[in-house]
Structures are given as structure tokens and as C-alpha cells.
Amino acid sequence: MPDSGYARGPRQCGRPLTYEEKWMIHHVFEVFRQHKRDQAMVVVEDPYSLTSQYTGVSRTKVAQIAKSVRQTGTVPPLSIPGNRYQPTAIPVAAEERIRDFVFERHREGAVCNATHIGGLLKNEFELDIQQRTIQRHLQRMGFCWSRTKSKPRSLKESDKIRQQRHDYLYEIRTNRSLPVHERYHLVYLDESFLHHHHGSQLSWFSDGDFVERAAGKGRRWCFIHAIMEEKLVDNAFLIFEAKNSKGDYHQQFDADVFQKWFQTKLISNLPPRCLIILDRCSFHMVGQDATVPTQMRKAELQEWLSQHGVDWEERWLRPRLVEEVENRRDKKPMVEMIAEEHGHRALFLPVHHPELNPIELVWATAKNYCASLFANTTNFKEQRRHLEEAFRQDIIPEYCAKVFEHVRMKEEKYWETDLAFDDDLEIENENLHVQI
């Protein structure tokens, strides 16, 4: 950037931004944007660049912070230097098999570590993944590295994830046990994507033969849909071109886009009494109260407690005030409130359990159809038409009933496994008390 005449800021290049600095950046940006709206004397063609000049922070970082505030109501959390949170090379489709594999080994009395998982991925998915990558992915799935009853170390699913899954399954089973006229219709929703160059990887070859394909994955369609036991929800399909063809496709969605779709295209096309099931990605969980206690000053915390009728004491330090605000603020997601206003309910899947969402199988079927038709002459819009054809031709009532039954069997397996594991823990504790 050419010299603009402004003094260079005191910030050290590469040092992580604090929460206060991020809010300062966003405040400056909002001031300049307001100037532009009001056509004030200060002419601002690009508020991102001008904010960057005033704060000494890169334009890209300013844009990231402004986007985060628009989507979530708060600045992004403090990032740790280094490339530590990139998605791993392990596909989502492999997570169900990994979870089953860990359970199978534990039921056989065998331990399970990253080497075992690596062998599974290599044998069944032809993936050669580094052990450290596998360990990070297992932690994200909710597994922890701990000791078994006989003291060797092994993988164990965290209690929090098991309870979260069991609570979810309890709600599903309770709904199924209700009389038909009281039962809620199950509706599953999810987001996904389709690249322009998404083509099949299998064909018949002779020696030296190969398929000539364009380099790269091409542009990307992002879409969202919902499924019931009889069919895909009418008129609920939303599709748009992603701004970026790389990275996590969830970044192409935000709370505004999702909630607009949820109210205008989903809720309005549902029958009465639906149980809407969705995962726990960040823009699904956005609440009406965007208060972030850790970013508030002590006086602001005290004021918030007073406004909400909570008696606080002068001797309380900031950590206690933060805890009190966090415990009392309304964390209920907006989608849950919107659903209830229309006579429906919302239920969130346990984290990292895509196998419990039947629409994941719909994505696989539709994308396989697109891949079978793809050729180098297929343009970007034709790939979209292929996707819509797949939804019309392949996702028929018989198919929907089949994938719902497939998920129900998964649910029963998890239910029985969780209860059996709980019984084992109880027996272990009883034996421990006897030894003491």
C-alpha cells in the first residue's frame, strides 16, 4: 500500500488482536460506513481500506471482523497463532465408520488408538493420514485419550457427547411413542455444496488410457433443503453460487441467510406440528441475546445484572460477574423460537453425528447422479440442472422411507450401545467400591 501520510501504528506485525482491538476496529469501520450512508464531508469509497489505514490492520482482517459481527453479533474469538484449526483430510462420510469401529473394539475388550484408526482409513477408504491429524479429528468428534479399566490408554467417547446423543435419541423415541394424532412430523434439514467439475472417479480403462478432466474443482453451488418421511419439502430448495470455491462451505452461509430461508421457504411449506431437526453449526445456534460476557467491562456486567433483576455484591470480582451473566442470559436459538411461534419444535443433533440425518444420504445420491452425467462439455448451470433433476427423479417417497428407516436403525444401535456402556460403568464402579 502506498504511503498515505498516516503515522504507522504501534502494533507489532503478526501479534494476535485482543478483543478490545477487534471492537475498536469494528467501531471505526461502522463510523466510516455511516459517513458513506449520510453522504458526509468525509468521502469513503472503501470503508475497509480506510479502516485499515486508521488502525494499522490489514484490509482482509477488517473485512473478516465486520463479517463476523454481521453474522453472529460479536467479533471472532481470539485466534491462536499457527495453522491449527484447518479441516482435516478425513471425510465426514468416514466418521460413522470410525465411531462404529471404536465401539466394536471396546466391546471386544481391545483398545483403540490412532494407529488402528489409520489402518481402518487406509483399508476401507484408501486414505493415508498422519497420526497427529487423526488424533485432532478424533478430539473434534468428541473422543478423548484416557485409561481403560485395566489401565492401558485407549480412546473413549466423552461423557458430554454420549449424554448429548442420548438426550437427542430420547426426544426422538418419545415422539415416536405418542399417538398418531399427537405425534410431530420429523423434518430434517441441512446445507451442502456441489462443484462444477464434480465427476465420477470410476470407469473402464485399457493400458495407458485416462480420463481427460479440467484442472481444479471449478466454481461451487451451495444449497439447502429439507426432507420429510414422504418427500422433500415442497418449495424449500435454496441454491446460490458460492463466493469462494475453496474452504469450508459453511462459510458461505450466515445467520441472516439461514433465518430468512427458515421463515420464508421452510416454515411456510410445512404441515402442522413438525419436529425440525438440524445440526449445531454456528449460524443455526445464533440466539436473540447476543451478549458476550467475556467482552464486557466490570461496570457493564454489573449494569446488566441490575437491569435483569439480579442482586450482585460489591465484593464480586469480574470472573464471578461473567459467570452470573453467562448463567442468566437467554441462549435459546432464534430458530427454536421461530419454530415454536408457528406450532413446531426444533431439535438439535448431537455434534459430529451426520449419520443420524437422512438428508446426508440424499446429498450422496444426488451428487452421484450429477457425477455420472458430468463431462468436460457440462457447464456450470447444467450441473445445477442435473442436481435439480436428481431431486425430482431419485428422491421419491419410497427412497425417503428407506433412508428414514436406515437412520432409525442407527438410532436404535446407538441407544442400545449407550445403555450397555452405562451398565459397564456401573459394574466397574461397584467393583471399585467392593475393592475399597
pLDDT in tens, 86-139: 566 788 778 888 988 888 877 776 778 888 999 999 999 989 999 899 988 888
Task: Assess if residue 420 is contained within a domain.
Answer: no
Task: Tell whether 112 and 221 lie within a shared domain.
Answer: no
Q: pLDDT of 37-71, one tens digit each?
A: 777 666 657 888 877 777 767 888 888 888 888 87
Task: Assess if residue 81 is contained within a domain.
Answer: no
- Binned at pLDDT 50, 70 and 90, residue 83 comes out as very low
Q: Taking the mean position of all CA atoms in its chain, how far away is CA 336?
A: 17
Task: Tell whether 108 and 191 lie within a shared domain.
Answer: no
Task: Tell whether 239 and 367 lie within a shared domain.
Answer: yes
Instruction: Report the pLDDT value the prediction gives residue 4, as an integer from 0 to 100.
Output: 45
Task: Assess if residue 219 is contained within a domain.
Answer: yes
Which three three-digit cell numbers place residue 183? Answer: 405425534
Task: Assess if residue 366 is contained within a domain.
Answer: yes
Task: Tell whether 54 and 117 lie within a shared domain.
Answer: no
Task: Tell whether 221 and 362 lie within a shared domain.
Answer: yes
Query: How many Cα atoms sit within 13 Å of 363 on the Cβ side?
Result: 23
Q: Is 100 exposed, middle or buried (0-12, 13-18, 19+ CB in 10 A)?
A: middle
CA distances in angstroms from 150 to 69, 109, 202, 407, 428, listed in the order given:
49, 10, 46, 34, 11
Residue 289: DSSP 8-state: -
Task: Tell whether 132 and 197 lie within a shared domain.
Answer: no
Task: Tell whether 255 and 334 lie within a shared domain.
Answer: yes
Task: Assess if residue 30 is contained within a domain.
Answer: yes
Q: Distance between CA atoms of 124 and 94, rounded to whole angstroms? A: 9
Task: Tell whether 145 and 49 lie within a shared domain.
Answer: no
- Domain assignment of residue 27, given as a range: 19-72
Pairing of the two strands 274-278 and 185-195: parallel
Task: Assess if residue 299 is contained within a domain.
Answer: no
> Average pLDDT, whole number, for the chain?
84
Task: Tell whether 43 and 122 lie within a shared domain.
Answer: no
Instruction: Report the pLDDT value the prediction gives residue 85, as an integer from 0 to 100.
Output: 47
Task: Assess if residue 165 is contained within a domain.
Answer: no
| Count of domains for the chain | 3
Task: Tell whether 259 and 152 lie within a shared domain.
Answer: no
Task: Tell whether 192 and 261 lie within a shared domain.
Answer: yes
Q: pLDDT of 176-186, one tens digit each?
A: 999 999 999 99
Task: Assess if residue 29 is contained within a domain.
Answer: yes
Task: Tell whether 40 and 116 lie within a shared domain.
Answer: no
Amino acid, res. 380: F
Q: pLDDT of 300-319, one tens digit each?
A: 999 999 999 999 999 999 99
Q: What is the CATH number of the domain that holds 385?
A: 3.30.420.10
Query: How many Cα atoms sit within 13 Å of 303 on the Cβ side?
Result: 6
Q: Distance between CA atoms of 201 and 211, rounded to whole angstroms? A: 9
Phi, psi of 32 (to 5 degrees): -65, -35
Q: pLDDT of 314-335, one tens digit each?
A: 999 999 999 999 888 888 899 9
State the CB neighbour count (10 A cutoff) for residue 197. 19
pLDDT over 90 at 412, yes or no: yes
